[in-house]
Amino acid sequence: MERESIEHGQSSSSPLLVNPDGVTGNSAVEEPVVAFGDDMKAKMATVTVFTIANRVPLGMRRAGEERARHAYDPELVSIGPFHHGNPALKLMEEHKSHVISRGLERINRTRRLESNVNQEGVITMDSLAQAIEGSEQRARACYSEAFDIHSEKFRHMMVLDGLFIIEVFDRFLESNGGISWDEAETDPIFRSRWIPPMLMLDLIKLENQLPFFILEKLFDLTHTGNKSFSHTFTYLALYFYASFNPSMPKSCLTYHDSRGIVHLLELFHSVYKPIVNRSPRLDKRRSIGSIRDIRLADITFKRVQRNLLDIIYNRTGQAVLEIPQLLIDYSTGPLLRNLVALEQSTRGVNPYFTSYVIFFAELVNSPQDVEILRRGNVIVSLIGNDEEVATLLSNIRKEYDI
């Protein structure tokens, strides 16, 4: 069977563009790319190392206007220095302390029961801030900007925000994704059903990140000696995200390697690496065309059960464009925008989602295109009518300069 993998871009100047007749452009230049399959270990071991937590490119913010504020700025909780002290997020800052207080109480109770830890071995905010003192400069270097934040305050922010994330993930895993109503009555995070999914979005926004090594260090400091807990922090994070994102490859939960991961958004990005055996440089002057154009060219399409980015053009017999299903809901816009912002702002990051957005923006030129894909079960929309879906995909495409 002759199958041609659609490589989702190797640079911002070489986006995914596939000719309607199935002929790609120059493929003489090939770069080695590890094949994605069920072997999550091999895939994640080759993840590109990202070295900086950046701001969203200014051009993307300006193009998005009000949409950008919703997509890029935290709406519930500030994590890290970029939005630290935002008065609009003051209420959740108060909740953070409550959540962390309960978390430390539970952690210390478990340590006393399982490890016979005495009062001198109790974990506190101050003891954790002291434990990461030697990592402060490395943590500051992870950000693209220097912050005029006193050393003690910076470490306190790292500990406060890091413990908050860990406690949210811990509680979510313990409850199998749900909290009893009796417990929720006194819990500021799980009191309302809409808060956890909104938190999920805030925790993968590009400007709302902590260094991953800080999160892992805090996790190790608070969970070492807990014999009843065998998971890694990476597993906790992926379990939390997978609960709200049905498109996430389920294999990511069977292998969880944090090597090369710099922050949570990069972790989320890394699990979507598409299937590719080679990476041809496609002719960027030629367009794939809309789904109506594709059908006129006697090419059919079908939904397939694969990783979101694994779009494959099969030219054996009747030409078929195989497209994994795209679920569009309240989170789709912010997720895609932040993943694209990560790729556009960080050197060396493979622009898989940039090319994915280009692909769908080419495929969908009108509400009629959305209707065709929706009837074919390629697009499932929970946000409104076909025109809104077409506008969403078009807007994301317009918000950055390829």
Q: Which residue has the higher pLDDT, 165 or 26?
A: 165
User: Which residues have a Cβ under 8 Å from the Cβ of 335 and sit 6 or more positions away?
Assistant: 201, 204, 245
Going by pLDDT thresholds of 50, 70 and 90, the confidence category of residue 117 is low
pLDDT of residue 42: 43
How far is residue 169's CA from residue 274's CA, in Å, rounded to a whole number? 27
Going by pLDDT thresholds of 50, 70 and 90, the confidence category of residue 228 is low
Average pLDDT, the chain: 80
Residue 67 reports pLDDT greater than 60: yes
Digit-coded pLDDT (tens) for 256-279: 677 889 999 999 999 998 876 444
CA-based R_g, the chain, Å: 22
3-state secondary structure of 103: helix
Digit-coded pLDDT (tens) for 364-390: 999 999 999 999 999 999 988 999 999
Percentage of the chain beyond pLDDT 90 is 48
Which tokens in the block code for residue 317?
């017999």
User: Which residues have a Cβ under 8 Å from the Cβ of 29 and sit 6 or more positions away?
Assistant: 280, 281
Query: Are 271 and 47 a contacting pair, CB within 8 Å?
Result: no
Query: Are 314 and 1 a contacting pair, CB within 8 Å?
Result: yes
The CA dihedral of 161, 162, 164, 166, to the nearest 10 degrees, is 160
How far is residue 353's CA from residue 357's CA, in Å, rounded to a whole number? 6
How far is residue 138's CA from residue 337's CA, in Å, rounded to a whole number? 28
- Beta partners for 300? 320
Please state, in angstroms and as integers, the Cα–Cα distance from residue 25 to each residue in 14, 16, 29, 122, 242, following that order.
Answer: 11, 11, 11, 63, 36
Q: Which residue has the higher pLDDT, 41 or 120?
A: 120
Q: Which residue has the higher pLDDT, 30 or 141?
A: 141
Q: Which residue has the higher pLDDT, 199 or 12?
A: 199
Average pLDDT over residues 12-19: 32
pLDDT of residue 178: 53
Going by pLDDT thresholds of 50, 70 and 90, the confidence category of residue 33 is very low
Which helix (H) or strand (E) segment holds residue 3: the answer is strand 3-5
